Amino acid sequence: MAMRELVSGGAACATSGSSSSSNPLGSLANALLGSSSKTQERLREIPTSTAIPSDGSASVGTGEPLSGLPGSELDHPLQPNAQGSEFLRGFRSADQHGLADVWDEIQRPQVNFPPEHVLRQPDTNGPPQRVLSSFLHSFVNSSHGGIPFCPATLPVLGLSAGDKQCIRDRSSIMARHFFADKSEDFINAQVNALLSSLEIDNDIRAPGPAFKRYQELEKYWHETHGMRPGPNPADGWVAEFAQHPVGHGDPSTWVQSFEQEHGANGWASEFEHEHAQLASMDHIRGATMPHLAAMEQTRMLANTLAQNNDPKFQNSKFFQFVSKMSRGEITVEDNQIKPATLSAPGDWATEYQQQYSGGQTWADQFVHEELSKGPNGWVDEFASERGHVDDGWVNEFSKLHVNDWAEEFGRQVGEGTFGDSSADNWASAYDEYLNEQTALKQQSESSRGVYVFSDLNPYVGHPNPLKEGQELFRKGLLSEAVLALEAEVLKNPDNAEGWRLLGIAHAENDDDQQAIAAMMRAQEVDPTNLEVLLALGVSHTNELEQAAALKYLYSWLRHHPKYGTVVPPNQPDSLYYGDVATYFSDAARMSPDDADVHIVLGVLYNLSREYDKAIESFQTALKLKPRDYSLWNKLGATQANSVQSADAILAYQQALDLKPNYVRAWANMGISYANQGMYEESIRYYVRALAMNPKADNAWQYLRISLSCASRNDMLEACDSRNLDFLQKEFPL
């Protein structure tokens, strides 16, 4: 959650009132909040170059309410023309590309020109950092209002060469983004205006290596974003601006347009590339500027994060990552993480903690962070670390109606809803994500229908593993049977029975994915085996793969010696449930005492969610085969899915009486209790199932949910670490 705030504008951090000055986005909000009374004053001031002290409101750490995100207070009636002409007068004297006429033109249609969007004279009082930050904000503002940025002289800010370089680079990139559809000249003018005000040498237009870099940058920019090549004519931007609907009504317009203009990872990768380019262009040895910049940003971020004294947070991988970056231990190059040659000593976590004491939450800290180097860096880092897939959320978040969220977040924080937990959640979410990635890799194999063999199989080399497997299965030792059967099929891959039994064992062990994988192999070897086809139908139904399930059940019918006649001779291209059901009903009428037909019908009715019919079919079959534990489970499952939980539990009990080690039935019991809200009971059943098959992943997930619903968060750790001993002791049946 917190990260989104950082991106969107972090203005929501901390108490409802203070605003984040630590990033231009947040302060943009504040800027736009500026009171209307200042407008006229500001307008008059714009043409001149003298710095005027503004009220300094909303720039840093003042009590601006959070609701002031872009465009949120556009309901204010205003006098566009009055202000417009004021502005224009000033503008003409500043002589900016003669846009005045067009501006007039634009003013007349509906375009709101709310006070808040007027170019805000930067606050030139206060410490250099604040001045700089507000100045940068107004630059950002100018992009939003589409009003060209006017230079202003500022008091000496004491920017170091590094700072200047940084500002120069960043502003040129940001300008490109903000004004992506404007002309080159316009962009350069903006940047120049900014830079000259800051007395930064503007070598963007100068020939030489810097200029060359700029050209390359431009080329790269155009390439990656498929934009029209070459700059537009000078008035082009003006026309574009006219077309460009500055939709003030939408709170997140500027963010949207920001996003629209460059797509998925535009500015982040852009920035990265910029750094890479700088690195190649510069002939500075050692740590190059971009790395320094990156280090600087992450140092600040790490400082901020270090405020959170929670050791869990300190130890989280994300925090470690950020801290490493800040120490230069790892650097980002070409969208990859590279560890630096020198490794930082010692325990940085404690070091930071020692250095920065204080009980503030990280959220508060971030709010009070002075310098607005902005979230650019860490987003880059974050994005590049996880590759292209993951910056979706950045885009995603920027498309949200940030206004609502900010208000709400502010309210919640004010009410103390979040407290410290937000940072924790965030950090642990990231940790979880990393863990999930590794887990996902393992799962992907089996989900594609490829059977995954166990390592270290003691039955490999056994003289007759099939027999051993069958024996173990009969005894109910499902996991052992699986191993023995794996040994068998490794030895004899064409043993249909081996594969079939392996599939059954997995299904009973509550692993449909492996069951499917094994059954498919069995089917390859023996395409007409009815048990295999039924099992495949059942497993696919469980996995909600409805089309596949239908196919297998239909095949069952087709390959049946007796009922094969019921179906038409050639396999239709697409199966319709209705037809298949009809065939089955015909078959059932042919042989009412064939339990199997009823079983298959029952599964079919589950597919179509006609639960009553399914229950009926299974009950009919049970009359014929009362000791079929798998059938009792099917009945129970059907009843459970049609919320007849009490009946389901009775059916499961019957199944377990017949087969005590029936993992699936134990897990189903847990599910029935959990669905009824009886979480404590469900926990015991899940634990029991897992004790018999620690690989039952579904059960682990469900156990976790039940633990938190039963407010047993103390046991979550044991659950996550799959500590069965501990869980069994705590939750016996």
Partner 1 sequence: MASDEKSVQLKSDALMEQMKLHLTTDAGKALTKKIGLVYQLNIAPKKLGFNEESYVVDLKKGEVKKGTYEDGKPDATFSFTDNDFIKIAAGKMNPQIAFMRGAMKIKGSISAAQKFTPDIFPKPAKM
Q: Is the dihedral of CA 142, 169, 380, 14 positive or negative?
A: negative
183-187: long-range contacts, CB 8 A cutoff, minimum separation 24? 183/231, 183/232, 183/233, 183/234, 183/236, 183/237, 184/218, 184/231, 184/232, 185/97, 185/231, 185/234, 186/97, 186/148, 186/234, 186/237
Nearest in space to 1 (alpha carbons), one of 409, 411, 300, 322: 409
Cα–Cα separations (whole angstroms), residue 61 to 14, 116, 295, 366: 11, 18, 25, 11
CB of 578 to partner 1, least distance (A): 5
Nearer to partner 1 among residue 372 and residue 541 (C-beta): 541
d(CA 482, CA 455): 12
- To partner 1, the closest distance from the beta carbon of 511 in angstroms equals 10
Which CB sits closer to partner 1, 237 or 430? 430
Choose between 232 and 608: whose C-beta lies nearer to partner 1. Answer: 608
Q: How far is the CB of 641 from partner 1 (least distance, A)?
A: 6
Residue 442 or 574 with smaller CB distance to partner 1? 574
CB of 708 to partner 1, least distance (A): 7
Q: How far is the CB of 637 from partner 1 (least distance, A)?
A: 4
Q: Which helix H or strand E contains 522, and what residues bound it?
A: helix 512-525
Nearest to 171 by CA among 144, 137, 145, 146: 137
Q: Which is nearer to partner 1, 60 or 69 (CB)?
A: 69
Q: Which is nearer to partner 1, 102 or 650 (CB)?
A: 650
Closest CB 433 distance from partner 1, rounded Å: 5
Looking at beta carbons only, is 136 or 394 nearer to partner 1? Answer: 394
> Per-residue DSSP letters for 468-499?
HHHHHHHHT-HHHHHHHHHHHHHH-TT-HHHH
Nearer to partner 1, 157 or 607 (CB): 607
To partner 1, the closest distance from the beta carbon of 406 in angstroms equals 9
47, two tokens: 């043409």
Please report how close the Cβ of residue 571 comes to partner 1 at its closest, in angstroms. 17
CB-nearer residue toward partner 1: 132 or 305: 305
CB-wise, 296 or 545, nearer to partner 1?
A: 545
Nearer to partner 1, 38 or 598 (CB): 598
Distances (CA, A) of 717 to 215, 472, 547, 688: 54, 33, 39, 18
C-alpha span between 99 and 236 (Å, rounded): 11
Min dist CB 80 to partner 1, Å, is 31
Adjacent-strand bridge partners of 337: 332
- Please say whether the beta carbons of 666 and 685 come within 8 A: yes
The closest of 656, 718, 651 to 687, measured between CA atoms, is: 718
User: Measured from the CB atom, is 160 or 574 closer to partner 1?
Assistant: 574
Distance CA 3, CA 278 (A): 28
Q: Count CB neighbours of 299 within 10 A.
A: 19
We find the least distance from the C-beta atom of residue 567 to partner 1, in angstroms, to be 18
Least distance (Å) from partner 1 to the CB of residue 35? 28
- Residue closer to partner 1, measured from CB, 147 or 718: 718
Cβ contacts of residue 32 below 8 Å, gap of 6+? 68, 69, 70, 71, 72, 73, 116, 117, 141, 144
Lookup: tokens for 345: 């000593």
Question: Which CB atom, from 131 or from 604, has the smaller least distance to partner 1?
Answer: 604
Please report how close the Cβ of residue 387 comes to partner 1 at its closest, in angstroms. 11
* Shorter beta-carbon distance to partner 1: residue 58 or 637: 637
Helix axes of 161-178 and 266-281: crossing angle, nearest 10 degrees: 140
Residue number with CB closer to partner 1 (186 or 430):
430
DSSP 391: G
Shortest distance (Å) from residue 680 CB to partner 1: 14
CB of 317 to partner 1, least distance (A): 13
Q: What Cα–Cα distance (Å) separates residue 394 from each residue in 175, 281, 303, 587, 681?
A: 19, 30, 23, 57, 41
Specify whether the CB–CB gap between 552 and 533 falls below 8 A. yes
- Angstrom distance (rounded) from CA 598 to CA 578: 17
Q: How far is the CB of 435 from partner 1 (least distance, A)?
A: 10
Neighbouring-strand partners of residue 338: 331
Calpha distance 612→440 (Å, rounded): 37
Shortest Å, Cβ 544 to partner 1: 4
Give every CB contact of residue 316 below 8 A, 6+ residues apart in sequence: 427, 428, 430, 431
Taking the alpha carbons at both ends of the chain, their separation in whole angstroms is 39
Question: What does the block give as tokens for 246?
Answer: 């500055």
Rounded CA gap, 16 and 47, in Å?
Answer: 35
